[in-house]
Structure 1
Amino acid sequence: MAGTVTIGHFPTAAAFRPLALPKLAAARSAHLFTDRHFRDALAQFATGVTVICARVPDGGYTGFTANSFNSVSLDPPLVLWSLKRSATNLPAFENAERYTINVLAHGQVELARRFSRPHVDRFAGVPFRMGSAGAPLIEGCVAWFECSHYARYSLGDHVLFIGEVETCERGSGAALLFHQHRYGITPPPERGSEPK
């Protein structure tokens, strides 16, 4: 039957009928929702909160709050995140060969807010140590990833970055969450629910 794949057989070219590009374009322009409605629907998906950092050419650092962080692959170890194309620090990340991803703990709400707003020096008073990637590893986080540039794609109004993890470290405690446009904490695990 056309369109199905059975074990041990390869589908014929006729089995694949990709959607024509004009139809895709028409589908894009026919959204029945507003940007706000889309954001509110996405906000129902709870995420962790990260601060992504890189060194800039003058020797300083840049960083921003992101919840668009996810794993891609175990072999090789790849992660992804995205940054708005209008972000002032986009050129710094596009030119950075390496960067760090700091996964925030539940007590770091103010840090998340600081790195999500315009700030003269976002790193002032923030305790951190330098990682092998040459970018800040913020103290008190629940996890850290040091990455090298692997791939980058311009998609819509964002740029998608894929990094290859060079080193990672797990901290302790509850992670900071972002859900329904608000910060929160991960609930304690139920007794006996820990992975074996």
Structure 2
Amino acid sequence: MFDTRQFRNALGHFATGVTVVTTLDAERQPVGVTVNSFSSVSLEPPLILWSLAKKSFSRTAFETHPSFAVHVLAADQEDISNRFARAGEDKFAGVQTRDGLDDVPVLPGCAAVFECNTEFIHDGGDHIILVGRVQRFATSERPPLLFYRGQYAVPEPEHSSPFSGLMRVMAAATA
């Protein structure tokens, strides 16, 4: 018997960055979701991937709009992560954005942003896997927001030992 909860817990031992992915729906309204399944694929051509649950309300928007933006959240953007993780509310209310590639909304203050055209969409079990060709990107010197064992975390600045304090887990994230 395969225990999916134990499997999920085991996957939590891999620290990931936290991203918000945005696009537009058929009515050209902004759509966004919090995602930690983001990865680089290729430098030549510049490709990245991320996955989205098949049951996600925003699935159709991401499958039909030709572009999306991946925002690598900065350490102080936990509130943005939580906002875009919720279903059923206007996630963009009160958030200043700029128009990116194909008018996709781009969030401010992120550690990095990748603006992409959708290159491929693949089946991935209970998710779809979206591969994007990066058209442009921007970075900052802001430290990233991380997710580790079900909680937010941020990298520690400099350490006295290579093994001490690799990251500080933010306990409030699970409250």
- Aligning the two structures, in what range does the TM-score lie when normalised by the shorter sequence? 0.7 to 0.9
Are the equivalent residues in 2 in contact too, given 1:78–1:164 (CA < 8 A)? Answer: yes
**More strand by proportion, 1 or 2?**
2
| 1:59 is the counterpart of 2:28 | yes
Q: Deviations over 1:161-195 (max 9, x none)?
A: 0000000111121100000100111222459x9xx
Q: Residue 69 of structure 2 aligns to which amino acid in structure 1?
A: T
**Alignment match, 1:132:** 101
Which amino acid in structure 1 is aligned with residue 76 of structure 2?
A: G
| Unaligned runs of at least 5 residues, structure 2 | 163-175
Q: Which runs of 4+ in 1 moved over 6 A?
A: none
In 2, Cα distance between the equivalents of 1:77 and 1:137? 19
Query: Where does 1:54-133 land on structure 2 (aligned, <5 Å)?
Result: 54-133=23-102
Query: Greater CA radius of gyration, 1 or 2?
Result: 1
SS in 2 for 1:115: helix
Q: 1:127 deviation in Å?
A: 2.1
Asked whether the equivalents of residues 154 and 160 of structure 1 are also in contact (C-alpha less than 8 Å), the reply is: yes
Structure-1 residue corresponding to 2:144: 175
Letter matched to residue 184 of structure 1: A
Residue aligning to 1:154: 123
Answer yes or no: is the 8 Å Cα contact 2:25–2:60 preserved in 1: no
Does the 8 A contact of 2:67 with 2:115 survive in 1?
yes
Q: Does 1:46 align with 2:15?
A: yes
Q: Give the aligned length.
A: 161
Q: Deviations over 1:17-46 (max 9, x none)?
A: xxxxxxxxxxxxxxx431110110000000
Inter-partner Cα distance in structure 2 for 1:189 and 1:137: 31
- Quick one: structure 1 residues 74 and 189, their matched pair in 2 at CA, closer, same or farther if it must change by over 3 Å? farther
Equivalent residue of 2:153, what SS?
A: strand
Query: What secondary structure, in the 3-state scheme, does the structure 1 residue paired with 2:79 have?
Result: helix
Cα distance in 2 for residues equivalent to 1:43 and 1:177: 11
CA–CA distance in 2 between the matches of 1:88 and 1:139? 24
- The whole-number CA distance in structure 2 between the counterparts of 1:91 and 1:49 is 22
Q: Secondary structure at the match of 1:75?
A: coil
Where structure 1 has 5 or more consecutive residues not aligned to the other structure, the ranges are 1-31
Identity of aligned residues (%): 39
CA RMSD of aligned residues (A): 1.4
**Mapped partners of 2:39, 2:142: distance in 1:** 20
